[in-house]
Amino acid sequence: MDLTVHIGSLTLKNPLIAASGCFGYGVEYAGIVDLASLGGVAVKGLFLAEREGHPPPRIVETPAGMLNAIGLQGIGVHRFVDEKLPELRARRATVIVNICGTTIDEYVELARILSDAEGVAALELNISCPNIKEGGITFGCSLTGTFDVVSAVRKVTRLPVIPKLTPNVTDVASFARAAEDAGADAVSLVNTFLAMVIDVETRRPKLSNIVGGLSGPAIRPIAVRMVYECRQMVKIPILGMGGIAEARDAIEFMIAGAAAVQVGTASFVDPFIWPKLIDGISQYMQRHHIERVSDLIGTIDTRTRDKQWISS
Amino acid sequence: MDLTVHIGSLTLKNPLIAASGCFGYGVEYAGIVDLASLGGVAVKGLFLAEREGHPPPRIVETPAGMLNAIGLQGIGVHRFVDEKLPELRARRATVIVNICGTTIDEYVELARILSDAEGVAALELNISCPNIKEGGITFGCSLTGTFDVVSAVRKVTRLPVIPKLTPNVTDVASFARAAEDAGADAVSLVNTFLAMVIDVETRRPKLSNIVGGLSGPAIRPIAVRMVYECRQMVKIPILGMGGIAEARDAIEFMIAGAAAVQVGTASFVDPFIWPKLIDGISQYMQRHHIERVSDLIGTIDTRTRDKQWISS
Amino acid sequence: MPIDVVADVMANRRLSSDYNVLALAAPAIAAAASPGQFVMIRPGRSHDPLLRRPFSVFEVLRDQHGAPTGISLLNKRVGVSTGLIYTAQAGERVDCLGPLGRPFSLVDPPAQAWMVAGGVGLAPFAALAEALCGRGTTAVLFYGARTAAELFYLDVFRALGVELVLTTEDGSLGEHGRIVAPLERRLSSQRTDRPVMVYACGPEGMLAATARTAARHGRACQISVERIMGCGLGGCYSCVVPMRSDDGRFHYVRSCIEGPVLAGDQIQWD
Amino acid sequence: MPIDVVADVMANRRLSSDYNVLALAAPAIAAAASPGQFVMIRPGRSHDPLLRRPFSVFEVLRDQHGAPTGISLLNKRVGVSTGLIYTAQAGERVDCLGPLGRPFSLVDPPAQAWMVAGGVGLAPFAALAEALCGRGTTAVLFYGARTAAELFYLDVFRALGVELVLTTEDGSLGEHGRIVAPLERRLSSQRTDRPVMVYACGPEGMLAATARTAARHGRACQISVERIMGCGLGGCYSCVVPMRSDDGRFHYVRSCIEGPVLAGDQIQWD
Ligand SMILES: Cc1cc2nc3c(=O)[nH]c(=O)nc-3n(C[C@H](O)[C@H](O)[C@H](O)COP(=O)(O)OP(=O)(O)OC[C@H]3O[C@@H](n4cnc5c(N)ncnc54)[C@H](O)[C@@H]3O)c2cc1C
Ligand SMILES: Cc1cc2nc3c(=O)[nH]c(=O)nc-3n(C[C@H](O)[C@H](O)[C@H](O)COP(=O)(O)OP(=O)(O)OC[C@H]3O[C@@H](n4cnc5c(N)ncnc54)[C@H](O)[C@@H]3O)c2cc1C
Ligand SMILES: Cc1cc2nc3c(=O)[nH]c(=O)nc-3n(C[C@H](O)[C@H](O)[C@H](O)COP(=O)(O)O)c2cc1C
Ligand SMILES: Cc1cc2nc3c(=O)[nH]c(=O)nc-3n(C[C@H](O)[C@H](O)[C@H](O)COP(=O)(O)O)c2cc1C
Ligand code: FES
Ligand code: FES
């Protein structure tokens, strides 16, 4: 059985990637998961500089989901390269670095630094963090902004460039197209949905940042639809995510058009989820006589049925 | 205690409205709910003509939500006026008619017919049904389309005109503004989120229509955020909805900025929900010494706290 | 009018690794229910699972004086909610709304009642058989399942005086094959001046075949359909079944309020 | 390394209408846990509630030979998951991940250990008291609650030889008022050459007051903080606590991996 998938020039040993911001810098999980067994590890969004992020409360649970407004607390790219990358390298993780900037120059600078560092497999451009104004969302909500930041980064790196798209737009597929046109190797989607919860007793938002990003199973059907739409618009691979909690969900994203998937919130609930997902996918492939997992990608069958009846 | 709220020239006896498409034509529920006890009854979306809608399966459950692609099966406006309106009138329901069209002329024609009919309290313009191409969504996703259809209807009716907005846009508040500029008396939001579920065993979409609209508690935090955003952009009242399942949720929408709320999916789960919601709101008002429910509207307190600590 | 009760689980009897019978304390629903009606069940209080699920009223339970105390459900575990119902323990509480929908119409002697059940499609027939036998109507149960271990409650039907015709797909009990075969043979051999009402509930393929067979033999047929139901009350239009229209086309009716029992010859099978 | 077990509920003892003690079969976690560590609990399997919830290890349960068999949790019902834990029945299963976080550091005689607990903040102190008393350390428990009926396990602490100082907000038992008052008095009267380690867990206001009081008296203080935790493993950065930086500002640390026990004088209380 062949679980490898290809993202541009990069080969992942399986389609399962730990989603950015949901797996620390990866090293936190080294005792729980064999990092080398994952298709990839997308580390927490990095700016050039260190950041403290938003005051707590930073998360709140919602029906089948959660909001977060961490505010991209982080150690900055230099400390990441010095303090975390060596261990990730030693553990043979396939490291995808999620980068955030306020200006195109910052993305370019981050890309340069990380291209020179040893052990970075790909760059995921976070142009979709809904929680901070300066987190690239202005790029992510504008087609030319998306195009410009991707092209600029494209010029300075040979690493696969993977812009991460926001779902908070009317037509996500047009953003995937802009990214493709600008030379992206793949696109990641979705980041979180802008949302809020109000404590009715105090009439105050439950998050210090007022709004936050919704993730988890609640958003899965919207995310699957978006992957499906993008699949029809672009040829580059799609890294699909949003509420994946079981092997079945990962397979659903692949059938909708994702070449690989990321798992965030569900790994909070079950940090030991990874081998379970791999097992579940393998069992499915066996049951359906699928030799290569990549044969699943985009194989949704949308023939309309005249049939009125569910079973028969 | 005063539960009345005002939507343009219309006074509702309380802020609770049965959401369109989730309460049939109202008459189906006459044996379960005293229709006159509701703030309003938004009946199922009506076209000029009868429609059969989409083949089943038409709904599928998702985590804390459901997708529907009913396809606006309906009896058409004439049969509605002849067969349903008399009973609604007799039961003294405050009837909000949800209308759908393919062209501006159809909305205008529907508005004319319903303005002449006795017992219609307001028109809700469905320009946001995600499940059928001809259901006004082309208006709902374009600012000029929204403006044009609202102004056209505005000219031919004295009934309150309430466009219902789609959440599937980048900036819902700008649509609320377009509606206000065109003379709308209020806006309803949100309609459902475009979404899909794939059966991984068959690789076919679970809905015959491939995509459907996500409703239910899953979407609530996104909907609350949208109401909050619109509140800052427009002065006209907002009818808020999306996943309301308890009195607390209804209050949350009002604090975010809704003048009234609609309840859809939750009334499937609990058709006897209405008196419970009214009780819950009344108890909350008592506990917080609030005399008029309308004093809650938009009272969210967003002062930033420097406080790092939750309680103290 | 339907009522909604928070019903105590009185007992949960496992019939197999997939089937169980759940007894719910719901006297008012039990008193009002007619054979063929259903209830909408919610086995938990969280938003996942969210919607209620439809279940036929299997038995009306009574105390020693014959007063209704509750209902039972014949449950087949196929997903989330049926899984919760399978594992429910006595003392748990379950939201139960009903009775809902149009029941079977009963026939009196000399008409015979032939019930056709596939798998969990047995559910509405315990109550129906009791009602029919109570009025002296001769009843036959054509009952097919995958295997012998999934043919349940045979003694109960026998005790009521119901004749049993059984099939299993693996041949482990009764005739080997599907249930429509013996039904077809029996319809062919039945004298046309002897009135028969066919009742059917089960997988859709079986229902279509039954309806066609009955029609071919000129027999009326009441079909209990199973559609995905959002509300059970006519509010959502999710549960529609296509019915033949006079113009040769079809129109959708809501099976929760116009059914679940529908005339087999009026359903648009395709 | 933490492990994740599907733990059987061995017993559920209700202490009041809001508090209970849940015993979970989890020998490996029990064997590995140190006082002050916590577990992440998931009482259901649906997506609502979604995330696990953090709970202190209350007691390490042992069989008659002293071998660890499981742990218990002291639970206070405040919302969805704590509600499920309150109503959990023996035989149910609960996902339990742990042990997690940095434990208390213990002190040896002649140092005394003063534990300050507010409400459910008692949770980490049963295990801590056992460990301290085991090494002969003199222990005092300052324990405040709303009312006498919410002061639990007093006998257990007494049996260990722990001195109890109690307060209730309604004056129904012990001193009337908050627990920081007697702590403050005792700190004032304690000779400075007698070493004392203050341990505290409870509402944030109480923690801040305890930390300040301890600092004012020059006593070291270990605070077990309670933050909303998404993962418990350092993955999500939800659980941060502001700690003083050398430059007079603060930086956030993740209380799940750098805590939950943190040095009181280094936390930025504001
Ligand atoms: C009028 C009526 C009476 C019924 N009586 C019984 C009965 O007595 N005993 C019994 O075991 N079952 C009965 N069913 C079927 C039962 O409602 C479904 O098996 C149940 O809803 C599945 O819920 P789930 O959460 O376990 O499955 P899910 O996890 O939601 O889905 C599993 C599978 O079940 C199908 N399904 C989901 N919801 C429904 C639904 N509402 N109706 C039909 N299929 C569905 C899905 O398409 C999917 O293939 C009846 C259905 C109807 C319409
Ligand atoms: C290290 C640690 C140890 C703890 N030990 C115990 C213990 O031994 N016994 C005990 O009863 N409680 C303990 N708590 C608190 C307990 O985790 C929360 O009460 C619980 O998470 C609330 O879950 P819920 O679903 O019932 O509440 P929800 O319905 O989610 O929310 C109800 C209220 O609880 C608050 N809350 C939600 N999640 C948390 C959280 N993770 N931490 C703190 N507050 C939260 C919310 O802000 C809200 O005000 C501990 C917390 C931490 C961080
Ligand atoms: C706590 C938290 C922090 C996140 N931080 C980041 C981040 O730094 N960069 C980023 O691109 N996405 C971030 N995300 C978004 C996730 O990577 C992912 O896109 C989203 O959560 C949807 O997937 P899920 O439903 O599996 O969690 C974060 C999500 C969560 C829940
Ligand atoms: C089955 C179903 C049918 C619906 N039909 C309509 C409709 O005809 N017109 C309309 O404007 N909205 C329709 N809606 C959207 C609801 O009115 C409402 O906007 C949405 O469901 C969100 O609210 P809820 O989460 O309370 O259900 C429908 C929703 C559902 C679930
Ligand atoms: S189930 Fe809602 S209309 Fe039939
Ligand atoms: S709880 Fe996730 S980092 Fe601490």
pLDDT digits (tens, 9 = 90+) for B124-145: 999 987 666 665 677 888 899 9
pLDDT for residue A133:
64
Partner-chain contact B194 A222, CB within 8 Å: yes
Question: In the structure, which protein residues have their CB atom closer than 6 angstroms to any atom of ligand 2?
Answer: A 61; D 38, 49, 53-56, 73-76, 78-83, 120, 123, 226-229, 260
Percent of chain C past pLDDT 70, that is, above it, reads: 100
Q: What is the DSSP string of B147-194?
A: HHHHHHHHHH--S-EEEE--S-SS-HHHHHHHHHHTT-S-EEE--PEE
Average pLDDT estimate for B281-303: 96
Q: Does the structure show a pLDDT above 70 at A95?
A: yes
Q: Does the structure show a pLDDT above 70 at A311?
A: no
User: Which phi and psi angles does C190 have, rounded to 5°?
Assistant: -75, 130
Partner-chain contact B59 C228, CB within 8 Å: yes
pLDDT for residue B312:
36
Kindly list the residues from chain A whose CB atom is less than 8 angstroms away from the CB atom of residue D52.
Answer: 268-269
CATH of D3-100, one of 1.10.760.10, 2.40.50.140, 3.30.465.10, 2.40.30.10: 2.40.30.10
Helix axis angle, C204-216 relative to C180-189, nearest 10°?
Answer: 10
Question: Which of B28, B66, B87, B273 is most worth mutating to test chain C (most C CB atoms within 10 A of its CB)?
Answer: B28
Question: In the structure, which protein residues have their CB atom closer than 6 angstroms to any atom of ligand 1?
Answer: B 61; C 38, 49, 53-56, 73-76, 78-83, 120, 123, 226-229, 260
Average pLDDT estimate for C192-221: 95
Would you give the DSSP letter of residue C94?
Answer: E
Average pLDDT estimate for B44-58: 95
Kindly list the residues from chain A whose CB atom is less than 8 angstroms away from the CB atom of residue B252.
Answer: 197-198, 200
pLDDT for residue D87:
93
pLDDT in tens, D77-129: 999 999 999 999 998 999 999 999 999 999 999 999 999 999 999 999 999 99
pLDDT in tens, A166-202: 999 999 999 999 999 999 999 999 999 999 999 999 9
Chain A residues bordering chain D (beta-carbon distance below 8 Å): 21-24, 28-29, 31-32, 44, 52-53, 55-61, 63-66, 68, 70, 73, 216-218, 245, 265, 267-272
pLDDT for residue C247:
87
Partner-chain contact A219 B224, CB within 8 Å: no
Assign 3-class secondary structure to chain A: CECCEEECCEEECCCEEECCCCCCCCHHHCCCCCHHHCCEEEEEEECCCCECCCCCCCEEEECCEEEECCCCCECHHHHHHHHHHHHHHHCCCCEEEEECCCCHHHHHHHHHHHHHCCCEEEEEEECCCCCCCCCCHHHHCCHHHHHHHHHHHHHHCCCCEEEECCCCCCCHHHHHHHHHHCCCCCEEECCCEEECCEECCCCEECCCCCCEEEECHHHHHHHHHHHHHHHHHCCCCEEEECCCCCHHHHHHHHHHCCCEEEECHHHHHCCCHHHHHHHHHHHHHHHCCCCEHHHHCCCCCCCCCCCCCCCC
Mean of pLDDT over chain A:
94
- Per the listing, tokens 């609640």 go with A218
Distance between Cα C30 and ligand 1 center (Å): 21
Question: In the structure, which protein residues have their CB atom closer than 6 angstroms to any atom of ligand 5?
Answer: C 229-232, 234-239, 254, 256
Subunits close to B (at least 3 CB pairs below 8 A): A, C, D
Q: Which ligand is nearest to the CA of C238?
A: 5
Residues linked to residue D74 through DSSP beta bridges, in sequence order: D21
- Per the listing, tokens 């009482």 go with D43
Alpha carbon distance D255, D264 (integer Å): 13
pLDDT for residue D25:
97
Each domain of chain D, given as residue ranges in start order, spans: 3-100, 112-226
pLDDT for residue A312:
36
Distance between Cα A100 and ligand 3 center (Å): 13
Q: Measured at the alpha carbon of residue B206, what is the angle toward residues B200 and B211, in degrees to the nearest 5?
A: 115
pLDDT in tens, A104-145: 999 999 999 999 999 999 999 999 876 666 656 778 888 999
Q: Are B308 and B263 in contact (CB under 8 A)?
A: no
Alpha carbon distance D209, D260 (integer Å): 18
Lowest mean pLDDT among A250-259, B282-291, C86-95: C86-95
Quick check: D45 contacting B, CB < 8 Å?
Answer: no
Partner-chain contact A217 D47, CB within 8 Å: yes
B100, B129, B141, B230: the catalytic one is B129
pLDDT for residue C193:
86
Provide the whole-model pTM. Answer: 0.97
Quick check: C241 contacting A, CB < 8 Å?
Answer: yes
Q: Is residue D242 within a helix (H) or strand (E), and if so which, with residue range? A: strand D240-244
Distance between Cα B32 and ligand 5 center (Å): 15
Query: Which residue's C-alpha comes closest to atom 29 of ligand 3?
Result: A21
pLDDT in tens, B57-96: 999 999 999 999 999 999 999 999 999 999 999 999 999 9
pLDDT in tens, B6-25: 999 999 999 999 999 999 99
Q: How far is D53 from chain C (nearest CA, A)?
A: 16
Residue B73 identity: Q
- How would residue A306 be classed by pLDDT, with cut points 50, 70 and 90? low
The atom number, within ligand 4, closest to the CA of B188 reads 19
Partner-chain contact C80 D48, CB within 8 Å: no
Percent of chain D past pLDDT 70, that is, above it, reads: 100
Partner-chain contact D47 C44, CB within 8 Å: no
Which one of B52, B56, B66 has the shortest CB-CB distance to C50?
A: B66
Quick check: D6 contacting A, CB < 8 Å?
Answer: no
Beta-strand (E) ranges in D130-211? 139-145, 163-168, 175-176, 196-201
Can you list the domains of chain B with their CATH numbers? Answer: 5-57+70-194+220-311 (3.20.20.70)
Q: Is B230 a catalytic residue?
A: no
Partner-chain contact C252 B24, CB within 8 Å: no
pLDDT in tens, B215-250: 999 999 999 999 999 999 999 999 999 999 999 999
Tokens for A45, please give them: 């969004």
Domain C112-226 has CATH 1.20.58.1610: no
| Structure ipTM | 0.96
Helix axis angle, A172-181 relative to A143-156, nearest 10°?
Answer: 30
Average pLDDT estimate for B160-170: 95
Mean of pLDDT over chain D:
95
